[in-house]
A and B are shown apart, each in its own frame.
Chain A
Amino acid sequence: MVDSKLGIFGLLSDAGPVVLFVLSVLLSFSIVSWAIIAFKFNYVRQSLSESRAFLDYFFEIYNVDKAFAESENFRKGSLPRVFRSGYIEYRALGDKADLRQVRARIARAIKREANAESKRLSSLVPFLATVGNTAPFIGLFGTVWGIMTSFHNIGTTQSASLAAVAPGISEALVATAAGLAAAIPAVMAYNFFTHQIGIIERDLEEFSPEFVAAFINEP
C-alpha cells in the first residue's frame, strides 16, 4: 500500500532544512567521535602495554643505563617516556651539581614529562563527553522541529488521518535516533578511556619517585 522505496532514507528526502541540518551535525559528530575512539584506543592500548613491559624490564635489571637503552624500544609507552626525560636530565647535570640539586632537577623533569604525557593521553577525550551529552539533545531538537512542521502541515491539509500525521512524526524521530546513535558509543568510549587513562596516570605518579631514586642511587 505504502510505496516506501527506501524506508527511513526515503522519508528523509522530504525532510525540512532544519532536520537535515541537525542530521548532518549529528553525522559529523559521529564521524569525529569514531575517529577519536579508534585513534585513542590504539594510543592508550600501546601506552599501557609498553609501560607494563618497560616496568618489568626496569625492576628486573635496575640499571638506568640499560633501562634507557631498552626504553628506545618502548617509544609509545608513557612510563618509558618519563624515564627517558629523567635520564636525559640526569646525564645533562653530570657531576657538577650537588645531590639535593640533582634530585630536585630530575624530579622536576620527570614531573613535567608526566604532565605532558597526561595531557597527551587525555586530549580529544573530552569531545567524546561533549558528544555523549549533547547529541541526544540535538537530536531531540530536530525531532521537536519536525513534529512542529508536521502539526503545521496537518493544520494546512485539514486532515488528521494517520496517513497525514505518521510520515512527519516518523521523519522527525529519525533525528532522535541519530542523536542516540552518535551519543551511545561516545559515552561508552569516554568511560573506557577515562578508566584506562586513570590507570596510566596512577602508574606515572607511583613510579616517578622510583625513577628519581634509581638515578640518584645508580650503582
Chain B
Amino acid sequence: MEKGQKLIYTEKKFSLWLAAAAVMHALVIFLAIYLQSIDARRQAKPKIVSVSLVSLPGVAGSHEFSEKKAGGEAHPATSPEAPHPVVNKKSVDLKKALPEVAPVTPKKEKKPVKVKEVVPKAAKVTPKKIAIEPLPAKVKPKAIEKPADISKALERIKQNVDKKTAASPPQSAGNLNDALARLQQKVKAQGTPASSGSGSGQGGSTGARSGAGKGYGGGTSAPYKAEIASIIMQNWEFSKLLLKNSYGMEVYVRINISTNGTITKIIFDKRAPSEYLNNSVKRALEKSSPLPVLPKEEGAKDAWIGFVFTPEGIEK
C-alpha cells in the first residue's frame, strides 16, 4: 500500500514536471517568435530603401537622358498638337540655360526627372526656338562669377543666343522640318502594325533610338512607345555585378496603360531566373507611372504595350 502510494506520488510529481517542461518549451518558442518579429521590425526599412549602390552606376541614366532627347525630337512628327513637343523644346532651352547654373548647384543636373519639373520656368525665360550651340567654351570662365553676377551673365547669354537664332533661323528650322517630314514618312510607312497588335514592333526603334525595339503586343504608336521606354529607362536601377550568371536573363512584360497614362496592370509573360531582375523591372515600371497621356489616335481605350527587359534595361 505504502509503495503504491509512493509510486502514485512519484508519477504525479513527474507529470507536474512534464507539464512544466511543456510550458517552458511553449514559452521559449513564443519568445523566439516574438524576438524575431521585433528584430524584423527593427531592420525593416532603413538601408534597403536608401541603397544607392544599385543606382550608382548612372551611366545608363545619363545615356537614357540623351536618348530621351532624341525621342523628344521625334515627337512633332506624329502628334504636333500634343503638349510633349513643346515640353521637349523647352527642355532644350533649359539645357542651354543650365550650364551656367550648374557650377553653383551641381546637384540639379543629376536627376533628369527634376529637369522636367523645372521646365516650365525655363520656358518662360526663353520661349523661342533655339539651335544648340557650343556654348560651354564661353561659359566655363564665367562659372567663377559670384551669384550676384549670374543674372547679368544670363542676360548676356540670352542676348547672344537671340542674335544667333536671328542669324540662322532658316537653316535650323529647315533641318527640323526635314527631320519631321522624314519621321512622318517613316511612321506612316510602318504605322499599320501598331493597329494589328501582334507584330514585333520593330518600327519603334526607327522613330526613336531608345524605343521599345522588341516591343510586342503593341497597338500604340512607335513614338509613344519610344517615349515611355525612355521614361522607364530613366527609372531603371539594376546592377549587373549582383548577377552571377547572365544566361536567360530576359523578362517579357506587358503593361496596360489607361487613357490618363497610369499603368494599371503589369503582366510578366516570362520571368527571369533572378528575382532581383524581376523586381527591378516591376520597380522601374511602378516608378514610371503615370506615363504621358495616351496619344489621341488611340481613342478612348487603354493600351497594352510589351517590353523585353535584360540586365541592361529595355532590349533594343
Instruction: Name A's B-contacting residues (CB within 8 A).
Output: 1, 4-9, 27, 30-36, 38-39, 124, 159-161, 163-164
When distances are taken between beta carbons in the complex, the residues of chain B under 8 Å from A39 are: 13-14, 17
Q: Is the CB of B17 within 8 A of A31?
A: no
- Given the known interface contacts A31-B25, A39-B14, the answer about A7 and B20 at a Cβ–Cβ threshold of 8 Å is no
- Given the known interface contacts A39-B13, A161-B274, the answer about A34 and B25 at a Cβ–Cβ threshold of 8 Å is yes
Which single member of A32, A161, A163 contacts B18 (CB below 8 Å)? A32
Q: Is the CB of B37 within 8 A of A35?
A: no
Which single member of A35, A160, A161, A163 contacts B17 (CB below 8 Å)? A35
A6 vs B33: C-alpha distance when bound (angstroms): 6
Binary interface encoding of chain B residues 16-51 relative to chain A, with 1 for a CB under 8 A from any of its CBs, else 0? 011011101100010011001101100000001000
Q: Is the CB of A38 within 8 A of B17?
A: yes
When distances are taken between beta carbons in the complex, the residues of chain B under 8 Å from A38 are: 17, 20-21
Q: Does B275 contact A (CB under 8 A)?
A: yes
When distances are taken between beta carbons in the complex, the residues of chain B under 8 Å from A9 are: 29, 32-33, 36
A27 vs B29: C-alpha distance when bound (angstroms): 11
The size of the chain B interface, using a CB distance under 8 A, is 22
B38 shortest CB reach to chain A, Å: 11
When distances are taken between beta carbons in the complex, the residues of chain A under 8 Å from B13 are: 39
26 pairs from A and B in contact (CB 8 Å cutoff): A4-B40, A5-B37, A5-B40, A6-B33, A6-B37, A7-B39, A30-B25, A31-B21, A31-B22, A32-B18, A33-B21, A34-B24, A34-B25, A35-B14, A35-B17, A35-B18, A35-B21, A38-B17, A38-B20, A38-B21, A39-B13, A39-B14, A124-B14, A161-B274, A161-B275, A164-B273
A59 shortest CB reach to chain B, Å: 28
- Given the known interface contacts A39-B13, A163-B275, the answer about A8 and B18 at a Cβ–Cβ threshold of 8 Å is no
Q: Is the CB of A7 within 8 A of B36?
A: yes
| Nearest neighbor of A3 in chain B, beta-carbon distance | B40
Q: Is the CB of B274 within 8 A of A31?
A: no
A34 vs B24: C-alpha distance when bound (angstroms): 9
Q: Is the CB of B36 within 8 A of A8?
A: yes
B274 shortest CB reach to chain A, Å: 6
| Nearest neighbor of A120 in chain B, beta-carbon distance | B10
Q: Is the CB of A6 within 8 A of B275?
A: no
A150 vs B33: C-alpha distance when bound (angstroms): 24
Q: Is the CB of A6 within 8 A of B36?
A: yes
Which single member of B18, B21, B25, B40 contacts A6 (CB below 8 Å)? B40
When distances are taken between beta carbons in the complex, the residues of chain A under 8 Å from B36 are: 6-9
When distances are taken between beta carbons in the complex, the residues of chain A under 8 Å from B21 are: 31-35, 38
When distances are taken between beta carbons in the complex, the residues of chain A under 8 Å from B275 are: 161, 163
When distances are taken between beta carbons in the complex, the residues of chain B under 8 Å from A6 are: 33, 36-37, 40
When distances are taken between beta carbons in the complex, the residues of chain A under 8 Å from B273 are: 159-161, 164
B278 shortest CB reach to chain A, Å: 10
| Nearest neighbor of B26 in chain A, beta-carbon distance | A31
A1 vs B276: C-alpha distance when bound (angstroms): 9
| Nearest neighbor of A8 in chain B, beta-carbon distance | B36
When distances are taken between beta carbons in the complex, the residues of chain B under 8 Å from A8 are: 36
A140 vs B266: C-alpha distance when bound (angstroms): 43
When distances are taken between beta carbons in the complex, the residues of chain A under 8 Å from B14 are: 35-36, 39, 124
When distances are taken between beta carbons in the complex, the residues of chain B under 8 Å from A1 are: 48, 276, 279
A27 vs B276: C-alpha distance when bound (angstroms): 37
A21 vs B63: C-alpha distance when bound (angstroms): 57
B221 shortest CB reach to chain A, Å: 37
Which single member of B18, B32, B39 contacts A31 (CB below 8 Å)? B18
A1 vs B275: C-alpha distance when bound (angstroms): 10
Of the candidates B29, B32, B275, the one having the most CB atoms from chain A within 10 angstroms of its own CB is B275
A130 vs B29: C-alpha distance when bound (angstroms): 24
Of the candidates A33, A39, A164, the one having the most CB atoms from chain B within 10 angstroms of its own CB is A39
